[in-house]
Each structure stands twice: as structure tokens, then as C-alpha cells.
Amino acid sequence: MTKMTVRDIDVNGRTCLVRVDFNVPTEPGTGRIIDDSRIRAALPTIHHLQTNDARIVLCSHFGRPKGQVVEELRMSAVRQRASDWFGVNVVDAGLPGDAVDPSQVIVALKPGEIAMLENLRFDPGEEANDAFFSKALGSLADIYVNDAFGAAHRAHASTVGVTEHLSAVAGYLMERELKMLTRALESDERPGVAIIGGAKVADKIQVLENLSQKVDTLIVGGGMVAAFLKAQGYVSGKSEIPDDEVHTAGELLFSSDAKVITPTDVVVAREFAEDATPSVVSVTKVPADSLVLDIGPETRALYADEIIAAKKIIWNGPMGVVEWESFAEGTLSVARAVAAVPDAFKLVGGGSTVSVIEELNLRSEITHVSTGGGASLEFLEGKVLPGVAALDDA
């Protein structure tokens, strides 16, 4: 499934509608932008379009206005920050159906100039993938460029509907995400090791199942450890684990092609609390009145041994309650082990997991840090992302 990219087409003098993901985190109350890395991530595509004399119309969603105008969710601060980064004044183009007609603003753009539409989700047609709104978006440009990988798992007007009206290509960021995620799943670099953690089995079942067919070794951590302990006949503590999760864990342990590795020791506590007293126990001795909140020291060493030998590593989800110091060491040790592997392809995804990599300053040791939380997870589940499927085939 190779898709056309912005480098495959002639954009000179043409108007490009560029779907970006500028849904940046902001400070509650003031609306100040806390982290503008999503805006910076669009720079390669913007630069390509500017140097090739395209007229650029950016569009993004921002927060959850649910189909109506919410003053605090206007794009103005984002547009200002984008102007700073892109070195031009990004002009406000409103939305189709507004008092100001976007096409009037767009028609006045000179090659290399940039306009930005108002928050797409102010229009209920966006999330509904409405045919009318899709057509209105399509009428604003000659070419559609999707650089919003983080929104590609949603079938919305600006990710799917609009592609019925314009030729549709991937931007640089989208292209890189697809290339890296495809390599993670399909390349024959071996041994391939997937490290999967996080809060709940339910969130990760499909990722586990898909990856078990793609890698040699599956390393399990996080909240789902309890289900894997129970499936092996051990006491798993006091957390309630649905039968179907135990069943899935059992199937993965006993009948998947990959070698599934689970903890030999864990860090437990009586309560789910930051100041709860941690104790290290063997998995054969988990007290029935406790909760499993991290992997133990023996397990950290075992996991590091597996990780260090890998040629391909996929990591999603912390090994324990990483936000709390007493239960963070499992995740930190996995992060250090992944960073230390020489000559391997390494892909890390997931909000909490990426934060750990950033806090430890290990980004440069990772081949690809995936930006799209939900989108990268769905990709790893083996799903076809609607926003990707809708792009023109190469």
C-alpha cells in the first residue's frame, strides 16, 4: 500500500489544502500553548510547498468544540505560533459558510503564502464526514495534502470526505509515520521484539494479537501483567480481571507463534496510591490483597537481556505506574535498555511511553517516535486507517 506523496506531484502555482494536526496542548484558563512540537512537525511539508511556489491553506481541528463555535477554541493562538515558525504571516481564512468567504482570502494568496482555516470541528460536518462540508473544503484548493497522521484513524470530512474531490497525497510527516510503522510490522529484521504495557488489557488486546504474528518475542508489562499471571495459574492480587482477558492472555502464552515473556517478579502494594509501600515478590507469591504495580528487578534484567539482542524493537505502554516514583523503575529500565541497543530499528509510540523517552532525553537513541497516539495504536493493531486508505495510490 504505497501512497502518493507531495514529492510525487507538481505543486507549482497550485493551491494546496494541507490537513495538519495542530491540536496542541494548552494551559487551562490562559490558553497558552504548552508544547508546539505539532506545529514544528509540519515544517518539512510547509517548506517543500513554499519552495515549490504553492499556495498553502492549512486546516486542523483543535480541542472538542462538538460542531459549534467555541471562542476559546479558535485557531488564533495556533495561527500566531505557526506564523512565527513558518516565517510568514499566516492569514485567517475562516470556514466555509462563514460571513467571510474563505475562497476570497485564498484567491488573494501569492505563491508561498499561507492561510489557515478556522477550527474544522466548529462545523458539525467535519466529524460527521458530511458530503456537503467535504465538497466545500474540496472547492478551496487544487490539491489535498494530508500531514495529520494523528487524525488518520478518523473518517472525517477533512481526512476522508475531501479526498473525493481532489487528488490526495501524503505530506512528509505522514509519509515518515507510514514508512516507519510499516517497517515495524513488515520488515524481516530479526529478532523482532515487541514490548507492550499500559493500563488495561482491553486497550491492547488487538495490538498484542497482531504483533504476536509479526515479531519473535513479545514482552508483557503494565496493568495487563495480572491477567497473564492469572492465566498461568498464579494469584494475581485483588484487581478484578475479566475472564475474556485471562482467556486472551492464555491464548497468547500457549498458542501464539511468538515467544511471550512475562515477569518472574513484580512490585506490589496494598493500595493504588503514590505513597503506598512497595514490595518486591516472586510471581508465585503475589498476596491476594495486593495490586501489581510494576515489574520487579529480576524481570528488568530478564527483559533487558531480550531487548539488547533485538534487531527490531516496538515499544508501546509503560511497564508500571510510571508517574509514581516507587513504581517507575521497570519502565525507566526498559527505556534505558531500548536506548542502549546498538544497530536496531526502534519504534516507540503512545503518550505515556513517549513522555518517558523525552524525560530521560533518549529521543536521539530511538529510530522513530510515533506522534499519533490513537492512530499509531490502530496501525499496530493491523487496522487500515481511513485517512491513509483515502490517499491516492502511487
Residue positions annotated with a catalytic role: 38, 200, 351, 374
CB of 34 to ligand ADP, least distance (A): 17
- Please give the C-alpha separations between residue 117 and each of 85, 93, 137, 140, in angstroms, as whole numbers: 17, 5, 10, 10
SS3 state at 80: helix
Other residues' Cβ atoms within 10 Å of the Cβ of residue 15: 20
- Please give the C-alpha separations between residue 100 and each of 66, 92, 105, in angstroms, as whole numbers: 21, 10, 8
For residue 317, state whether it binds ligand ADP (rule: CB under 6 A): yes
- Stretch binding ligand ADP (CB under 6 A), from 175-183, 184-192, 275-283, 320-328: 320-328
Per CB under 6 A, contacts with ligand ADP among 347-366 are 350-353
CB of 209 to Mg ion, least distance (A): 19
Instruction: Count the site residues for ligand ADP by CB under 6 A.
Output: 19
For residue 199, state whether it binds ligand ADP (rule: CB under 6 A): yes
Instruction: Count the site residues for Mg ion by CB under 5 A.
Output: 2
- Stretch binding ligand ADP (CB under 6 A), from 50-58, 89-97, 196-204, 280-288: 196-204
For residue 320, state whether it binds ligand ADP (rule: CB under 6 A): yes
Name residues whose C-beta falls within 8 Å of residue 293's C-beta, 6 or more positions apart in sequence. Answer: 266, 267, 268, 269, 272, 276, 278, 320, 321, 324, 326, 327
CB of 296 to ligand ADP, least distance (A): 12
Q: Which is nearer to Mg ion, 196 or 286 (CB)?
A: 196
Residue 169 class from Cβ within 10 Å (0-12 exposed, 13-18 middle, 19+ buried)?
buried
SS3 state at 366: coil
Per CB under 5 A, contacts with Mg ion among 334-353 are 351-352
CB of 362 to ligand ADP, least distance (A): 15
CB of 377 to Mg ion, least distance (A): 9
For residue 194, state whether it binds ligand ADP (rule: CB under 6 A): no
Residue 320, CB-side half-sphere exposure with 13 Å CA sphere: 32
> What does 148 bind: ligand ADP, Mg ion, none (CB cut-off 5 to 8 Å by kind)?
none
**Residue 17 contacts residue 116 (beta carbons within 8 Å):** no
Per CB under 6 A, contacts with ligand ADP among 264-303 are 292-293
SS3 state at 64: coil
Q: Which is nearer to Mg ion, 9 or 199 (CB)?
A: 199
Closest CA to 120 of 50, 22, 200, 42: 22
Q: Which is nearer to Mg ion, 333 or 352 (CB)?
A: 352
Nearest 5°: CA angle at 250, between 317 and 266?
50
Contacts to ligand ADP by CB under 6 A: 197-199, 203, 222-223, 292-293, 316-318, 320-323, 350-353
